[in-house]
Amino acid sequence: MAILRAARRLNISGQMLRSSMANGKSKQFAKPSDALRRKADVNLKPPRVMYLENSMDVKSPIARPPWTGLGKELESAMRKALFDFSLLEKNVEKIAVALSGGKDSLSLLYLLHGIRGRGFPLFDLYAIHVDGEFTCGAGIGADYLGAICSELGVPLIRRESTQKLETLECYRCSRERRRLIFDAAKEAGARVIAFGHHRDDSAQTLLLNLFHKAEFAANLPKVFMRDYGVTIIRPLIYISEESIRKFAKEYGFARITCQCPVGQNSKRKTVDLLLRQIEEHFPHVRSNLARAGLLYGSDKAATP
C-alpha cells in the first residue's frame, strides 16, 4: 500500500509539473534561449593553442589572445604591475626577455607579446636564451624555442654558458648567465630586460635575505644595473607560481627544465619547502610576504 501511495503522489506531481510548463508559469524549467546556448558554447571553447611541428618533430605550443579566464587574469595582473611600477617607459622601443624555456619565462614572453599595441606601444621583443651543460633551461632544445619565437616573430639570441660540474655553484652561474644576457641585449639595442620572477620568487628572496644578511629585502619590480647600463623589470611580480603553472598546463607548455644537480639542493629550494610547511598553518604566507616586501622592503638594490 505504501508503494502504491508513493506512485500516486509521483503521478500527481508529474501532472502538476506538466501543467505548469504548459501554462508558461514555470520559468525554472523553461528551455534556454538561443542566445544563452551560444554564450554557453563560447564559455566551453578550449584555450586558443597552436602547435607547430619543427624539423625535429617536436610540438611547440603557441599561446596568444584571446585568452581564457585565467589568461585574462594573468594579463590584468601583469598590466597592473607595468603601470604601478612604471616598468615600460614611453620611450622604450625594444625589450629583451630572459628566456630559459620554463613555464615562467615562456608565460612572460606570451603575455608581453600579447599586449604589444594594446594599450602599450608596438615595441620590439627579443628573446635571449643561455644554453649549456648546467644552466637553467638545460632541458629545453634550441629547436623548441626557435619554433616558438619564429611563429611569434621574435628574434631568438643564443649564448653559451661555460659552467662545469666540478666548479658548479649557484652564485657564479647566476652572475655569468646575467652577464651573457645583458651583453646580448645591449648588442640587440635593448636596454630593458624582462625576467620571469613571480610573486613566490619574491617571497623566497625576502626570507633568504632575512636569514642570510638580516635584511628585509624582496625582489624589486625594477632595477637599473648601473655597471651594465641596462634596466631589469619583473612584470610577473604580482602573479603566483601556481597561477603560472596552471596557465602553462592550459596552453600546453608546462615542462620540467632545470637539470642542475646543485639547484635541486639549493638554499632557495630549502626556503620553498619551509614555506610549504608554513602554508599548512598560514595559507596566505607567500602573498603576505611578497606584499610586505613591496611595501616595507629595502630598496638598496635599486641603486647597485
If one compares 44 and 29, the residue with the highest pLDDT of the two is 44
Residue 162 corresponds to which cell in the numbers above?
661555460
Report the distance separating Cα 147 and Cα 27, nearest Å: 53
pLDDT of residue 254: 85
Q: Which CATH superfamily is domain 53-302 in?
A: HUPs (3.40.50.620)
Give 122 or 301, the one with higher predicted confidence: 122
Bigger pLDDT: 38 vs 163: 163
Tell me the domain boundaries of the chain.
53-302
State the pLDDT at residue 18.
Answer: 42
pLDDT tens-digit series, residues 192-214: 999 999 999 999 999 999 999 99
Mean pLDDT, residues 91-107 taken together: 94
For residue range 41-98, what is the model confidence (pLDDT) as tens digits? 444 445 555 555 444 455 678 999 999 899 999 999 999 999 999 999 888 999 999 9
103-115 vs 142-152: helix crossing angle, rounded to 10: 10
pLDDT, residue 32, reads: 43
What's the whole-number mean pLDDT along residues 260-274?
Answer: 80
pLDDT in tens, 214-242: 999 999 999 999 999 999 999 999 999 99
Cell 649549456, residue?
A: 132
pLDDT at position 6 is: 45
State which of 70-79, 128-137, 158-167, 168-177 shows the largest mean pLDDT: 70-79
Confidence category of residue 300, pLDDT binned at 50, 70, 90: confident
CA pair distance 28, 165, nearest whole angstrom: 68
Whether 244 and 74 have beta carbons less than 8 Å apart is answered as yes
Look at the alpha carbons of 13, 18, 23, 28 in this order and tell me if their dihedral is positive or negative: positive
pLDDT confidence bin for 290, thresholds 50/70/90: very high
